Amino acid sequence: MPKNTDVLPLFEKSEITFPPIPRFVYEGDLGVELAAGRVSKADAINMLDAMQAIRSFEETVAQMKNGRYKPVPGFKFIGATHLSIGQEASAVGAVSAIGPDDYITSTHRGHGHSIAKGFYWLQGHQSEDELRAFVEGYADPADCDNLYECALQVHLNRTMAELMGKEEGYCHGRGGGMHIADFHAGHLGANAIVGGSYAIAAGAAMGADMLDLGRVVLCFVGDGATNNGIAHEAYNWAAQDQFERGIPVIFLIENNQYGMTGQQVGEVTGITDLAQRGAGYNEVNMHAEVLNGMDAVAVHDAVSRAAQLCRSGKGPVLLESKTYRYMGHSLSDDCTAYRSETEEAAWEAIDPIDHIKRALVQHDVLSDEEVVQRCRAMSKRIEDATVWAVGATDPDASEIYRGLFTDTTSDDIGDEWATPADELLVEPSYTRRDRQGRILYRHAVAEAIMQEMIRDRRVVLYGEDLADYGGAFGATRGLMDVFGRKRVFNAPISEAAIVGTAAGASMVGMRPIAEIMYIDFIFMTMDQTGNQLAKNRYMFGGKAKLPAVIRTTIGGGKGYAGQHSQSLEAIVTQVPGLKVVAPATPYDCKGLLKASIRDDNPIIFIEHQHCYTDKGEVPEGDYTIPLGVANVAREGTDVTVVAYSYMLLRALEAAEALAEEGISVEVVDPRTLIPLDEETISASVNKTGRALIVQQAPYTGCFGEHIAHRIVDCCWDALEAPVRIVAAHDVPPPMAAPLEDENIPSVEKIAAGVRELAQS
């Protein structure tokens, strides 16, 4: 299939121009919205209630942190306290403008977003069965005269309980205030990494579009996040021309003027309006607009229009909401070092809650007394939620691992998600086997992916240079011809966005396979890999499923030197929440890759560059190999060698040579590093009494050290000699052939290590 666009050498004199970016175009008020029917009186009252809930909630948190909250005297509150007092109009105006089933992502300053999303989700789901299910387990529905009012109290209770680290919190105390998520309400999680949710939101929107959910993703980010590299990667990702319908994501910058203390205007940027960034990513400036973030009605208007653009296939949209936080970055920050009393007073004079109160009275929605009563009632709800949360259950320390991994897979989906035959562009074909039934390792990769994409249309494949070229090693060549560019497509050179979008897409129901061309580039992704993909399930209370496979390669031996040859598997095995797979043979590669795609956990799937041209017997049919099950590749009695990926092949070669010397070597291939099959490894070492681990990674800090530790722990009584490791030198991979040959464990080095053990 040819590329869509020819890039021709056209050098005509011209200018690049940009459409203007509108600022503060909204000229209406609550009265205008009421008269036009865009906002009802009930909607306006809800705005006040939600904004007051946020204000009272955060004022309570501040008092508790300082030990001055009278209803719970002496209670010690721990945890982060990044308050958004002053920013309530931005949260409520935005969330009120999207649908109850739409998604949001949030920030470390996200209590308000969470309260607003749950509030409006309950407003949109008022069937008795739904409300009863929501309340169940947290209040007795039989005691509720009004199920909605009861559900709203439960929502506030559980939000406060999460800040207190309680089991009844939305994330069972695993996340706390900076990482709160509420998946039943479409809240995909708050993020303590500045800008961390940018790519997740883009991926979630991409996934929602691919699944035809008709949902929009509202991505709240702070002004400081716009200076982070992932912001630019996410903007570019969402604006790609190859997404013909446009990605339905609204990036809403809550510009409260300061990162922590760094000021956006006049200090850490060169622009006055952060919405100007939209001009860099598509011809319509991402429909960028600057709005008054202190007016909930103005925010509601802008986000309503943005949501309509997204639903009509014209996303993404970039909005900048000018707002202000009255308090410091955290409660340890009194703001005096970097902002003036004059500035603070000017913003407080246009307080968003005072503004909505006056508007409600002015336009005869509520009387002054009714406004006061509603605010008091909401403050009482927050007090009740706080007392309830303080008395809630502390998590059981024995359940610390609960939520880290899920044991579910897509094995039993049947034909529910099968790709319709008429969506296949050409007839799928299998690689021709040789007379022994063998194919190349790289053909096993493509075959596994092809079968899973036919079986499940939620599976998509993307990465750098994947579509036409098949990746740097041609391992996925031909798949685009079968499935087309909507399911096999090129990614920009944006490794962080590749991983982050895979996380986001998987959270809304897709099953992405994303490629990071060389594991050396994993360092470019480490926030999205280590802080997002790995942690989101556990951090959000075990509610999220992230069935994403990140394919990457390790290597060496091709003269690629220090940035394309490393074996960095220990980098990802160090992060709890990731499964790590490293197959050595074509048979294992196909079976393990298929199992990985079906697993509902995030998986780093490591392919070795030298293995791509290795041949092995591989059945055409459907089969999987369970993750976490090692393979005894060769039986022996004298020494156990544990090796994986390409080192397995060298270990087997060494074992064959040593057999001629009368040394019987048992070779165990873990195949999966996380989870590690300690039982099979221990059984072998208990039999032989000696263990050698072979690694292509540098010696210091390699995963082999962990294997050695577990062998010592499990096999101490059986060991007749110290556990040895044969590994690369503690240097970056060198380019020159003599140096590279010296660096990579050879058959001779492995054999020498075995001899030493056998003679000890």
Q: How far apart are the first and last CA of the chain?
A: 61
Helix (H/G/I), strand (E/B), else coil: 79: coil
3 state SS of 139: coil
Q: Which residues contact 137 (CB under 8 A, 6 or more apart)?
A: none
The residue ranges of every structural domain in the chain are 30-70+81-122+171-285+293-336+362-390, 421-617, 631-759
Cβ distance 681 to 670 under 8 Å?
Answer: yes
pTM reported for the whole predicted model: 0.96
- Tokens 């994330």 belong to 171
Output the pLDDT for position 95.
98
- H or E element at residue 65: helix 41-65
Give the residue ranges of DSSP H helices in 290-429.
296-311, 341-348, 352-362, 368-390
In angstroms, the CA 299 to CA 603 distance is 39
Q: Given this model, what pLDDT does residue 669 score?
A: 98
Rg (CA), the chain: 29
Q: Where are the beta strands (DSSP E) in 571-614?
A: 579-581, 603-608
Strand ranges inside 45-176, DSSP E: 103-105
CA distance 344 to 355: 17
Type and span of the H or E element at 698? strand 691-698
CB distance 731 to 699 below 8 Å:
no
Task: Dump pLDDT digits (tens) for 573-626.
Answer: 999 999 999 999 999 999 999 999 999 999 999 999 999 999 999 999 999 999
What are the two backbone dihedrals, phi and then psi, of residue 440, each rounded to the nearest 5 degrees?
A: -75, 155
Please state whether 214 falls in left (phi above 0), alpha (psi between -120 and 50) or beta. left
Which pLDDT tens digit goes with each residue over 433-450?
Answer: 999 999 999 999 999 999
AA letter at 526:
M
Give the pLDDT score at 1: 43
Close Cβ partners of 427 (under 8 Å, ≥ 6 residues apart) = none
Which segments within 352-490 are labelled E, that is strand?
A: 438-440, 459-463, 488-490
Among candidate residues 224, 225, 260, 254, the one with its CA nearest the CA of residue 337: 260
Dig out the tokens for 396 from the structure. Answer: 């059981």
CATH class of the domain whose range is 30-70+81-122+171-285+293-336+362-390: alpha beta
425-452 residues labelled b (16+ CB within 10 A) or e (exposed) = eeebeebeeeeeebbbbbbbbbbbbbbb
CA distance 714 to 723: 12
- Quote the pLDDT of residue 697: 97
User: Looking at residue 128, what is its pLDDT?
Assistant: 86
* Topology alike, domains 421-617 and 631-759: yes
The total of other beta-carbon atoms located within 10 Å of residue 588's CB is 25
316: cis peptide before it, omega within 30°?
yes
Query: What positions carry a catalytic annotation?
Result: 564
DSSP class per residue in 251-287: EEEEE-SBSSS-BIIIII-S-S-GGGGGGGTSTTGGG
Q: Give dist(CA 497, CA 503) in Å, integer.
A: 10
| Amino acid 69: pLDDT | 87
Q: What topology does CATH give the domain 631-759?
A: Rossmann fold (3.40.50)
AA identity, residue 486:
K
Check whether domain 421-617 has CATH 3.40.50.970, yes or no: yes
HSE at residue 125, side-chain half, CA atoms within 13 A, is 22
Task: Please report where in the chains the tokens 């020819």 appear, as a residue.
Answer: 6
Residue 272 CB contacts under 8 Å (≥ 6 apart), including other chains: 265
Q: Which residues of the chain carry a pLDDT beneath 50?
A: 1-2
